[in-house]
A and B are shown apart, each in its own frame.
Chain A
Amino acid sequence: QKEVEQDPGPLSVPEGAIVSLNCTYSNSAFQYFMWYRQYSRKGPELLMYTYSSGNKEDGRFTAQVDKSSKYISLFIRDSQPSDSATYLCAMKELTGGGNKLTFGTGTQLKVEL
């Protein structure tokens, strides 16, 4: 079983839709969770981070963590064509793993007009 699993997509939605992106993980030591956005052949750009179970909201983005199920989600409300990108979940341990991030494969999202 991979440490972090993420559906690669592609996911295609109409403009204005609510998008749900998900990752599951197997390593209980992961305590810190991030979502990065990556445009084609560019560096990952941090969108959100959280280290507690529950929801965290930032504008149109909501990150959700369920540590008991080892499942994290990113919701995008009122999706825009500019949201079209690959979304990467990333995780790290709080202790012992330093700052090493373990990434999912990324989900390719396309928001269509």
Chain B
Amino acid sequence: EPEVTQTPSHQVTQMGQEVILRCVPISNHLYFYWYRQILGQKVEFLVSFYNNEISEKSEIFDDQFSVERPDGSNFTLKIRSTKLEDSAMYFCASSVGQGAGNTIYFGEGSWLTVV
């Protein structure tokens, strides 16, 4: 079964460092997302991306965050200058389209620890 794959599975970084989390969405999907889950808290929407541009973002997704689809298969989340509160599990997700019947599939997550 096709799946969303994410790398790295776990990354430890120092505060202030840049981090890039990588994702390979399901191949025929056109919509891509990043969500995060702080330990013990709910899964929260960060950003959605379609046709090479951001279609929606949450208030969490500030200027420190950016997304990119550098080639035909990868989708990345960059955090420019990490803070302690960025420690969380980051999930990439993808879907074929929008609206009813378009299921969003999640990857296994990248666990980011900022020290």
Could you tell me which A residues sit within 8 Å of B by CB distance?
31-32, 34, 36, 41-46, 49, 51, 88, 90, 94-95, 97-106
Contact = CB atoms under 8 A, between A and B. Distances in A.
B68 interface: no
Contacts, number: 61
B99 interface: yes
B56 A103 contact: no
B111 to A, nearest CB: 7
Interface of A is mostly: loop
B48 A88 contact: no
A45 to B, nearest CB: 7
B45 A102 contact: yes
A51 B100 contact: yes
Contacts of A88: 42-43
A39 B102 CA distance: 23
A100 B104 CA distance: 9
Interface of B: 4, 31, 33, 35, 41-45, 48, 55-56, 58, 89, 91, 95, 98-100, 102-109, 111
Contacts of B44: 103
B103 A41 contact: no
A44 B44 CA distance: 12
Contacts of B95: 99
A104 B111 CA distance: 20
B100 A41 contact: no
A105 B108 contact: no
A3 to B, nearest CB: 10
B104 A32 contact: no
Nearest to A88: B43
B108 A42 contact: yes
Nearest to A99: B98
B54 to A, nearest CB: 11
B91 A44 contact: yes
Contacts of B99: 32, 94-95, 99
